Chains A and B, each alone.
Chain A
Amino acid sequence: MVTAAGKALARYALRCTALVGLSALLLAAPARWGAWALSALSPHLAVVSSVALRSVGLMAACSVPMIVLTAWRRRWFCRYLCPVGLIAETCGRAGLLRKLEYAKLPPVGQWLALASLGGAIVGWPLFLWLDPLSIFSGAAGALGGPLTVAGAVPAVGLAGVVALSFVAPGLWCARLCPLGGTQELLAGLKQRIARAGRPEGGSRQTGARLARRSVLCAGAGAACALAIPRLFRASPPKLRPPGAAEEMRFKALCVRCGNCRRACPSGIIHRDLGGEASSFLTPVVRFPPERPGQRYCLETCHNCIQSCPTGALERLTLEQKNRRPIGLAVVDVSECLVTADKTCAICVDVCPREAISLAFCEETYTNTVRIDPSRCNGCGACVVVCPVDVVTITAL
């Protein structure tokens, strides 16, 4: 017979292993593995993004075992695997304050999950980015990169959870975490199904109340999701990684996990640290000013798409990705070497899409670089190769 202390030790060991294992996976393995791991571990991410995308991909299907497990054993994930939970708990213990009793507080995590689901139904999931696994993935990304202030910013989510744990130990896990809330909801759903047919007036009343509340939450989420894009519409378009959904939808679907940034061999995907709050930490594309180096969106690569856990970057094939524009190349011909009759026209040859040509004008007897917008996918090869930096990619 296993003692309670032995059980607790085994559970602790498993959680530590999960923390180390997931960190190693996110830091060392190809970024697309991270995407599969995130999807498989978090039913919250998998279900809500599937609803938002109106499709269930293979990646989302991977979450089925975890859904079954958490429905079968209440908060199984929290108790045995969650790395953020382990960190929060450890910090809570180290803190000066006693663990409080939160049972009387409302289940905010469940509300968040329901609101996200409601938002997802109208196409705009609200709180995906609060998922503990995306928070953890973001922090792992900060650890993997060079240690700078800007590099540490993606760890802000985890830092928030840690700070909260010191002030109010256990509050995040018990009441706020949307993944915890999702697990509660799943377990509740299973219970309800098990009890169905058994006439027990009291619980049926509670059940009806719960159902009403769930519908209310989801409805509020949907209403917010419908309202918010209208409030933010004015923001200027940004250069997003290939396959990105429409801007508002993208910002909602993106969980800020940083996988795509890690996956990009050209290093052209950066975190948006600009002033716009709704876009904070989402991936944006920027081409490096320095030469040489093939640092553009390579025609041989769609790693970012493969590493997106939620479908914020649509799961395009390589060929589809190459046809899907990131933006459009624009040449400032007034400073272009070709217009000045100097030795160049390199962009014409390096363009992988054969979108650049020279147009000759009899009148001036000079050539001008022309971009064919029907062919240009904004990959930026011309931007990187231009010796006088007169090409830019503009968002569509």
Chain B
Amino acid sequence: MSGPSRREFLRTVGLGAAGVALGVGAAGRPRRARAEPIHLAGKIIEAAPIRRGGPARLAGGKVIQPQHEVAVIRETDVLVVGGGPAGVIAALAARRAGVEVTLVERYGCFGGLWTGGLVLIVLATHSRSGGKLTKCVRGIGDEMLERLVKVNNGIMNQAPGRSNPTSDPEATKYVMDEMLREAGVQILLHSWATNAIMDGSAVGGVVFESKSGPKAVRAKVVVDATGDGDVFGAAGAEHVRHVHRIGLVHRLGNVDRIDRAKAKAAGKRVPSLGSATPIPSVRWVNMQGPSADCLDVEALSRCEMDARRAIWRKVTALQAIPGCEQVYLLETAAQLGVRISRTLKGTCEMTLADAKAGRAYEDVVGVGGGYGLTWEKACQIPYGSMVPVRVDNLLAAGRCVSADNRMMNYTRLIAPCFLFGQAAGAAAALAVNDKCRPRDVDVPKLQKLLKKQGAYLG
């Protein structure tokens, strides 16, 4: 944010707060709205104050959070929470449909598990029948993959006759940034959504935590692309919780310098080193990991540290093999590899039995590619899988959509997440434009819009 706009912002906040102070002043103690001083080299200038209603208090041994008003820093048409593959594409789809969009992301980059989690392969992009390969994942997701082709070492296997490409995480972050910028999506990074704002049974926005303190963004429609379903969980929407394996992905460098002949001469076998990446000297190594509740912070902490130790042991053992001395641990993922935590109870639950039977939906909003789980069959995605049973003005996108405990191992793949994202974004924009609830969106109109955006609906 540039100087004048910051000043402007402060003034607005100040005026707003002053107004509140006047109102509250009559009832209780008055509140002061004042900019805080901040040191810039030798000068002292004004900075926005960080408010959280004062510190938490101890009362009878219990910790009590202060009750306070949260500043609304933005009002938008569509708010997308979570900047993974689904969230980014939802934001792009909504923005391109002509509405104001704000995208909130808890980490400092976009791409979620695809980049920060180092899960680099985009699975289920194509279906295969009778040896014929059909590209199912088109639209904005494919546009993104195509843009990665233009980046040096950006992506591999993104070409005719190829499927399930693997991308470079840094290239992906960069391409996502650029696409969001070009579309004009409002961005809030380092912002962790903590609560839903409810207006009756409808979601009216989200409160998130940040270095600037707790803030609120109000929106006409919210897309929950948090992966964990943090927004619909907080909004009280019906959902299912799952325990699943948690891994930690890592990347190895210098794998092209492995001397297999040397290892063989020493009577050693070089173990499996994960999968190739667009960078020839680098491989990414997945991890299955132990099963745990992915919403349990203690479990997450334990998994993170145990996994890192396991990786170091593995890499050290690898380096001890003659010929593998130069291989090194390039990085462990910034984000823990959470596979699934919450899934929404949507108006239509996707099931593996339906996928296996090749079920067709009237409200199809995307066609996922084939995967072992669906017997390589293309898999239709119903709009109902993203619409909560009761809560309004909210759509889910990404791995937390409505799916049974087998099908979720398909819906959590990156390519299907692209599709959920585009469908949710387009539907949210349509709901705003038509002034209706997302559940009342005219499905044929939504399908038309998606096709206009390049999506493939079978």
Residues of A that sit less than 8 Å from B by CB: 291-294, 338, 340-346, 349-350, 358, 360, 362, 365-367, 385, 387
Contact = CB atoms under 8 A, between A and B. Distances in A.
Contact of B307 (A349, A365, A385): A365
B272 A342 contact: yes
A360 B292 CA distance: 11
Given A341-B274, A341-B287, A343-B121, A349 B375 contact: no
Given A292-B377, A343-B123, A385 B288 contact: no
Given A292-B128, A349-B373, A343 B286 contact: yes
Given A292-B376, A293-B375, A349 B288 contact: no
A233 B370 CA distance: 46
Interface in B271-285: 271-272, 274-275, 285
Nearest to B371: A346
24 contacts: A291-B372, A292-B128, A292-B375, A292-B376, A292-B377, A294-B356, A341-B287, A342-B275, A342-B286, A343-B121, A346-B372, A346-B409, A349-B406, A349-B409, A350-B352, A350-B372, A350-B373, A358-B245, A358-B291, A362-B290, A365-B307, A365-B310, A367-B289, A385-B372
B306 interface: yes
A341 B370 contact: no
Of listed A292, A342, A350, A366, residue having the most chain B CB within 10 A: A292
B273 to A, nearest CB: 9
A345 B288 contact: yes
A126 to B, nearest CB: 44
Contacts, number: 69
Nearest to B376: A292
Interface of B: 121, 123, 128-129, 245, 247, 271-272, 274-275, 285-291, 306-307, 310, 313, 352, 356, 370-373, 375-377, 406, 409
Contacts of A292: 128-129, 370, 375-377
B406 A341 contact: no
Contacts of A350: 352, 372-373, 375
B288 A366 contact: yes
B404 to A, nearest CB: 10
A293 to B, nearest CB: 7
Of listed A340, A349, A360, residue having the most chain B CB within 10 A: A349
B134 to A, nearest CB: 13
A341 B311 CA distance: 11
A346 B373 contact: yes
A342 B274 contact: yes
Contact of A341 (B121, B288, B409): B288
A168 B455 CA distance: 73
B401 to A, nearest CB: 17
Contacts of B288: 338, 341, 345, 358, 360, 366-367
B274 A294 contact: no
A344 B286 CA distance: 10
B299 to A, nearest CB: 13
